[in-house]
Amino acid sequence: MRALDGKVAIVTGASSGIGRASAKLFAHEGAKVIVAARRAAELDAVVDEITRARGQAVALAGDVKDEAFAGALVELALERFGRLDVAFNNAGALGPMAPTPAIDVREWEDTLRTNLTSAFLLAKYQIPAMQRQGRGSIVFTSTFVGHTVGFPNLAAYAASKAGLLGLTQALAVELGAHGIRVNALMPGGTDTPMGRIFANSPEALDHVRRLHAMKRIASPDEIAQSALYLASDASSFTTGTALLVDGGISIHRG
Protein backbone atom coordinates (compact mmCIF):
# COMPACT_ATOMS: atom_id res chain seq x y z
CA MET A 1 0.00 0.00 0.00
CA ARG A 2 1.23 3.46 -0.89
CA ALA A 3 1.64 6.18 1.73
CA LEU A 4 -1.29 8.32 0.58
CA ASP A 5 -3.64 5.78 -1.00
CA GLY A 6 -7.23 7.00 -0.85
CA LYS A 7 -6.28 10.48 0.33
CA VAL A 8 -6.93 13.88 -1.22
CA ALA A 9 -4.29 16.59 -0.93
CA ILE A 10 -4.02 20.29 -1.67
CA VAL A 11 -0.52 21.55 -2.51
CA THR A 12 0.08 25.29 -2.89
CA GLY A 13 3.11 26.78 -4.58
CA ALA A 14 2.95 23.72 -6.82
CA SER A 15 4.16 25.28 -10.06
CA SER A 16 7.85 24.89 -9.20
CA GLY A 17 10.38 23.89 -6.56
CA ILE A 18 9.33 22.06 -3.42
CA GLY A 19 5.62 22.34 -4.17
CA ARG A 20 5.95 20.83 -7.63
CA ALA A 21 8.13 17.98 -6.37
CA SER A 22 5.73 17.32 -3.49
CA ALA A 23 2.63 17.30 -5.70
CA LYS A 24 4.22 14.73 -7.99
CA LEU A 25 5.39 12.61 -5.06
CA PHE A 26 2.00 12.75 -3.32
CA ALA A 27 0.31 11.61 -6.53
CA HIS A 28 2.88 8.84 -6.98
CA GLU A 29 2.06 7.73 -3.44
CA GLY A 30 -1.65 7.46 -4.24
CA ALA A 31 -3.13 10.87 -3.44
CA LYS A 32 -5.57 12.74 -5.62
CA VAL A 33 -3.96 16.18 -5.76
CA ILE A 34 -5.25 19.72 -6.18
CA VAL A 35 -2.29 21.84 -7.31
CA ALA A 36 -2.38 25.59 -6.76
CA ALA A 37 -0.19 28.54 -7.73
CA ARG A 38 -0.48 31.78 -9.66
CA ARG A 39 0.88 30.48 -12.98
CA ALA A 40 -1.76 28.46 -14.83
CA ALA A 41 0.49 27.16 -17.61
CA GLU A 42 3.03 25.75 -15.17
CA LEU A 43 0.26 24.15 -13.11
CA ASP A 44 -1.19 22.53 -16.21
CA ALA A 45 2.24 21.07 -16.95
CA VAL A 46 2.37 19.54 -13.46
CA VAL A 47 -1.09 18.03 -13.91
CA ASP A 48 -0.01 16.63 -17.27
CA GLU A 49 3.06 14.99 -15.72
CA ILE A 50 0.95 13.46 -12.96
CA THR A 51 -1.74 12.14 -15.29
CA ARG A 52 0.82 10.71 -17.71
CA ALA A 53 2.22 8.80 -14.72
CA ARG A 54 -1.32 7.47 -14.08
CA GLY A 55 -2.00 9.74 -11.14
CA GLN A 56 -4.95 12.06 -10.56
CA ALA A 57 -4.64 15.83 -10.28
CA VAL A 58 -6.53 19.02 -11.00
CA ALA A 59 -5.18 22.58 -11.08
CA LEU A 60 -6.58 25.87 -9.84
CA ALA A 61 -4.63 29.04 -10.49
CA GLY A 62 -4.90 31.96 -8.10
CA ASP A 63 -3.26 34.03 -5.40
CA VAL A 64 -3.00 32.55 -1.89
CA LYS A 65 -3.35 36.06 -0.47
CA ASP A 66 -6.96 36.03 -1.68
CA GLU A 67 -9.40 34.57 0.86
CA ALA A 68 -11.83 33.58 -1.89
CA PHE A 69 -9.09 31.46 -3.48
CA ALA A 70 -8.51 29.60 -0.20
CA GLY A 71 -12.19 28.68 -0.10
CA ALA A 72 -12.27 27.76 -3.79
CA LEU A 73 -9.45 25.25 -3.34
CA VAL A 74 -11.37 23.36 -0.66
CA GLU A 75 -14.57 23.51 -2.69
CA LEU A 76 -12.73 22.02 -5.66
CA ALA A 77 -11.32 19.20 -3.53
CA LEU A 78 -14.76 18.34 -2.21
CA GLU A 79 -16.51 18.64 -5.57
CA ARG A 80 -13.98 16.58 -7.53
CA PHE A 81 -12.83 14.07 -4.95
CA GLY A 82 -15.32 14.22 -2.07
CA ARG A 83 -12.95 14.89 0.81
CA LEU A 84 -9.77 16.62 2.00
CA ASP A 85 -7.12 14.73 3.96
CA VAL A 86 -3.88 16.66 3.45
CA ALA A 87 -3.00 20.32 2.96
CA PHE A 88 0.58 21.23 2.17
CA ASN A 89 0.46 25.02 2.44
CA ASN A 90 3.79 25.64 0.83
CA ALA A 91 3.43 28.85 -1.22
CA GLY A 92 5.67 31.69 -0.14
CA ALA A 93 7.91 34.54 -1.20
CA LEU A 94 11.35 35.80 -0.24
CA GLY A 95 10.19 39.40 0.01
CA PRO A 96 12.49 42.41 0.02
CA MET A 97 16.21 41.74 0.42
CA ALA A 98 17.34 45.01 1.98
CA PRO A 99 18.44 46.58 5.24
CA THR A 100 15.40 47.01 7.48
CA PRO A 101 15.35 50.85 7.30
CA ALA A 102 15.11 50.56 3.51
CA ILE A 103 12.07 48.26 3.51
CA ASP A 104 8.84 49.94 2.51
CA VAL A 105 5.92 49.07 4.77
CA ARG A 106 3.95 47.89 1.75
CA GLU A 107 6.70 45.36 0.94
CA TRP A 108 6.70 44.23 4.56
CA GLU A 109 2.94 43.78 4.64
CA ASP A 110 2.88 41.97 1.29
CA THR A 111 5.51 39.49 2.50
CA LEU A 112 3.58 38.80 5.70
CA ARG A 113 0.37 38.37 3.74
CA THR A 114 2.04 35.97 1.29
CA ASN A 115 3.86 33.85 3.87
CA LEU A 116 1.76 34.06 7.03
CA THR A 117 -1.72 35.46 6.45
CA SER A 118 -2.19 33.11 3.47
CA ALA A 119 -1.46 30.16 5.75
CA PHE A 120 -4.17 31.33 8.14
CA LEU A 121 -6.64 31.80 5.28
CA LEU A 122 -5.93 28.40 3.78
CA ALA A 123 -6.24 26.64 7.14
CA LYS A 124 -9.44 28.54 7.91
CA TYR A 125 -11.19 26.74 5.04
CA GLN A 126 -9.30 23.44 5.24
CA ILE A 127 -10.10 22.80 8.90
CA PRO A 128 -13.91 22.40 8.60
CA ALA A 129 -13.52 19.90 5.74
CA MET A 130 -11.11 17.83 7.83
CA GLN A 131 -13.24 18.13 10.97
CA ARG A 132 -16.21 16.60 9.17
CA GLN A 133 -14.26 13.41 8.56
CA GLY A 134 -12.49 13.45 11.93
CA ARG A 135 -8.90 13.51 10.67
CA GLY A 136 -6.38 15.32 8.52
CA SER A 137 -2.85 16.66 8.22
CA ILE A 138 -1.90 20.29 7.64
CA VAL A 139 1.72 21.14 6.81
CA PHE A 140 3.18 24.64 6.49
CA THR A 141 6.53 25.45 4.89
CA SER A 142 8.55 27.57 7.29
CA THR A 143 12.35 27.95 7.36
CA PHE A 144 15.40 27.85 9.61
CA VAL A 145 15.98 31.54 8.77
CA GLY A 146 15.11 33.59 11.82
CA HIS A 147 14.68 30.44 13.91
CA THR A 148 18.08 28.80 14.24
CA VAL A 149 20.13 31.03 11.93
CA GLY A 150 19.87 34.76 11.27
CA PHE A 151 20.68 36.39 7.95
CA PRO A 152 20.93 40.15 7.32
CA ASN A 153 18.51 41.91 4.95
CA LEU A 154 15.76 39.30 5.32
CA ALA A 155 13.67 40.74 8.16
CA ALA A 156 10.29 40.40 6.44
CA TYR A 157 10.96 36.84 5.30
CA ALA A 158 12.29 35.74 8.70
CA ALA A 159 9.45 37.34 10.67
CA SER A 160 6.71 35.96 8.43
CA LYS A 161 8.11 32.44 8.40
CA ALA A 162 8.74 32.47 12.16
CA GLY A 163 5.09 33.42 12.61
CA LEU A 164 4.15 30.12 10.99
CA LEU A 165 5.66 28.27 13.93
CA GLY A 166 3.33 30.00 16.36
CA LEU A 167 0.39 29.28 14.07
CA THR A 168 1.45 25.64 13.83
CA GLN A 169 1.56 25.20 17.59
CA ALA A 170 -1.74 27.01 18.22
CA LEU A 171 -3.57 24.98 15.60
CA ALA A 172 -2.02 21.71 16.75
CA VAL A 173 -3.47 22.24 20.23
CA GLU A 174 -6.76 23.55 18.90
CA LEU A 175 -7.29 20.65 16.50
CA GLY A 176 -5.63 17.68 18.17
CA ALA A 177 -8.86 16.37 19.66
CA HIS A 178 -10.41 16.48 16.17
CA GLY A 179 -7.78 14.11 14.78
CA ILE A 180 -6.11 16.87 12.76
CA ARG A 181 -2.34 17.14 12.94
CA VAL A 182 -0.52 20.41 12.17
CA ASN A 183 3.20 20.61 11.56
CA ALA A 184 5.78 22.90 9.97
CA LEU A 185 8.50 21.84 7.55
CA MET A 186 11.76 23.79 7.78
CA PRO A 187 13.97 23.23 4.72
CA GLY A 188 17.56 24.27 4.44
CA GLY A 189 19.10 25.63 1.27
CA THR A 190 17.29 24.06 -1.67
CA ASP A 191 17.74 24.29 -5.43
CA THR A 192 14.55 26.21 -6.20
CA PRO A 193 13.76 29.46 -8.05
CA MET A 194 13.52 31.24 -4.68
CA GLY A 195 16.82 29.76 -3.56
CA ARG A 196 18.47 31.02 -6.73
CA ILE A 197 17.31 34.55 -5.96
CA PHE A 198 19.15 34.39 -2.63
CA ALA A 199 22.23 32.58 -3.98
CA ASN A 200 22.41 34.51 -7.25
CA SER A 201 26.04 33.96 -8.21
CA PRO A 202 28.48 31.02 -8.17
CA GLU A 203 30.25 32.61 -5.22
CA ALA A 204 27.03 33.07 -3.25
CA LEU A 205 25.92 29.52 -4.02
CA ASP A 206 29.25 28.13 -2.85
CA HIS A 207 28.94 30.15 0.36
CA VAL A 208 25.45 28.76 1.02
CA ARG A 209 26.65 25.21 0.40
CA ARG A 210 29.51 25.64 2.88
CA LEU A 211 27.11 26.86 5.58
CA HIS A 212 25.55 23.38 5.69
CA ALA A 213 27.18 20.56 7.61
CA MET A 214 26.63 18.37 4.53
CA LYS A 215 28.38 20.95 2.31
CA ARG A 216 25.62 20.95 -0.26
CA ILE A 217 22.07 22.13 -0.75
CA ALA A 218 19.00 19.92 -1.16
CA SER A 219 17.07 18.99 -4.25
CA PRO A 220 13.33 19.73 -4.12
CA ASP A 221 12.71 15.97 -4.24
CA GLU A 222 14.59 15.51 -0.97
CA ILE A 223 12.43 18.08 0.81
CA ALA A 224 9.31 16.52 -0.72
CA GLN A 225 10.12 13.25 1.03
CA SER A 226 9.90 15.00 4.40
CA ALA A 227 6.65 16.70 3.38
CA LEU A 228 5.31 13.24 2.54
CA TYR A 229 6.27 11.99 6.00
CA LEU A 230 4.33 14.79 7.72
CA ALA A 231 1.39 14.38 5.35
CA SER A 232 1.12 10.62 5.77
CA ASP A 233 0.15 8.31 8.61
CA ALA A 234 3.84 7.57 9.11
CA SER A 235 3.78 10.66 11.35
CA SER A 236 0.47 9.75 13.03
CA PHE A 237 1.65 10.80 16.53
CA THR A 238 3.47 13.93 15.37
CA THR A 239 1.82 17.32 15.76
CA GLY A 240 2.89 20.85 16.63
CA THR A 241 6.45 20.21 15.55
CA ALA A 242 8.91 22.14 13.41
CA LEU A 243 10.79 19.56 11.38
CA LEU A 244 14.26 20.73 10.38
CA VAL A 245 15.31 19.30 7.02
CA ASP A 246 18.28 21.58 6.67
CA GLY A 247 21.43 19.57 5.95
CA GLY A 248 22.81 20.54 9.34
CA ILE A 249 22.92 24.31 8.79
CA SER A 250 21.27 24.85 12.18
CA ILE A 251 24.04 23.05 14.08
CA HIS A 252 27.05 23.79 11.88
CA ARG A 253 29.59 26.25 13.23
CA GLY A 254 32.67 25.22 11.26
Strands (E), 147-250: 180-187, 242-245
Q: How far apart are CA 45 and CA 219, in angstroms?
A: 20
Q: How far apart are CA 96 and CA 99, in angstroms?
A: 9
8-state DSSP, 240: S
Domain assignment present for residue 87? The answer is yes
Domain span including residue 43: 8-245
Residue 139's DSSP bridge partners are: 88, 183
Give the per-residue pLDDT at 254: 67
Query: pTM to 2 decimals?
Result: 0.96
pLDDT over 70 (residue 247):
yes
pLDDT over 80 (residue 199):
no
Which residues have a catalytic role annotated? 157
Domain assignment present for residue 12? The answer is yes
Mean pLDDT of the 141-159 span: 91
Regarding beta strands 86-89 and 136-141, do their DSSP bridges make them parallel or antiparallel, or are they unpaired?
parallel
Strands (E), the chain: 8-12, 32-37, 56-61, 86-89, 136-141, 180-187, 242-245
pLDDT in tens, 112-133: 999 999 999 999 999 999 999 9
Q: How far apart are CA 216 and CA 165, in angstroms?
A: 26
Domain assignment present for residue 55? The answer is yes
Give the per-residue pLDDT at 196: 81
Mean pLDDT of the 223-228 span: 98
Query: What CATH code is carried by the domain that includes residue 60?
Result: 3.40.50.720
Domain assignment present for residue 3? The answer is no
Domain assignment present for residue 31? The answer is yes
Domain assignment present for residue 254? The answer is no
